[in-house]
Amino acid sequence: MENDQSLEVQLSQYRYIKEQRDIFQGQFEIINASLGNLYTTKLTLDNLKDGVNDNDEILIPIGGLVNIKATLKETKKVLVYVKNDTVIEKTVEEAIEFVTKLIEQHNTQLKFLQERIYNLDLNLQSMNQILQNRMSQQ
C-alpha cells in the first residue's frame, strides 16, 4: 500500500515537471518567433539607413500576403512602438540601437529557457527510468 502511494507521488511529480517543461517550451517558441521578427525589423532598418531615399517607392505589408505600394516621405526618422500604446519617433540609428538591445534581451531569455528545458529533460529522463524500474518490479 505504501509503495502504491509512493509511486502515485512520483507519477504526480513527473507530470508536474513535464507540465513545467511544456510551459517553458511554449515560452521558448514565442520568444524565438519574436526574435525572428526583430531580425527582420533590424534588416529592414539597416536597408533603410543604407540605401533608401525620400520619394522612393516601397511595398508595405497590410496583412497576410497582401502589400500596397507607397512612396516614402521621410527616411531619416521612424516610429517605434515602445509599449502597447506608446509610439516614439526615433532616428533610424536610434531605432537600430533599440532593436539590437531587444535582440540581446531575447537571446538572453532564450538561453535561460534552453537551460531550464535541458535541466527539466534530464530530470524527466531520470524519473522515467526510476518509474519504469518500479513498475517492472511490481
Is residue 13 in some structural domain? Answer: no
Alpha-carbon span 16 to 24, nearest angstrom? 13
- Can you give the pLDDT at residue 138? 65
Is residue 68 in some structural domain? Answer: yes
Is residue 17 in some structural domain? Answer: no
Highest-scoring range by mean pLDDT, 5-19, 66-80, 94-108: 94-108
Is residue 82 in some structural domain? Answer: yes
3-class secondary-structure state, position 19: helix
Domain of residue 114 covers: 27-137
Is residue 31 in some structural domain? Answer: yes
- Helix 92-137, helix 2-51: angle, nearest 10: 160
* Confidence category of residue 1, pLDDT binned at 50, 70, 90: low
CB within 8 Å of 124: residues ≥ 6 apart:
14, 17, 18, 21
- Burial zone of 16 (CB within 10 Å; 0-12 exposed, 13-18 middle, 19+ buried): exposed
Is residue 42 in some structural domain? Answer: yes
Is residue 1 in some structural domain? Answer: no
Is residue 80 in some structural domain? Answer: yes
Domain count, the chain: 1
Q: Residue range 65-79: average pLDDT?
A: 90
Q: What is the CA radius of gyration of the chain?
A: 24
- CATH code of the domain in which 34 resides: 1.10.287.370
Q: What is the reported pTM? A: 0.81
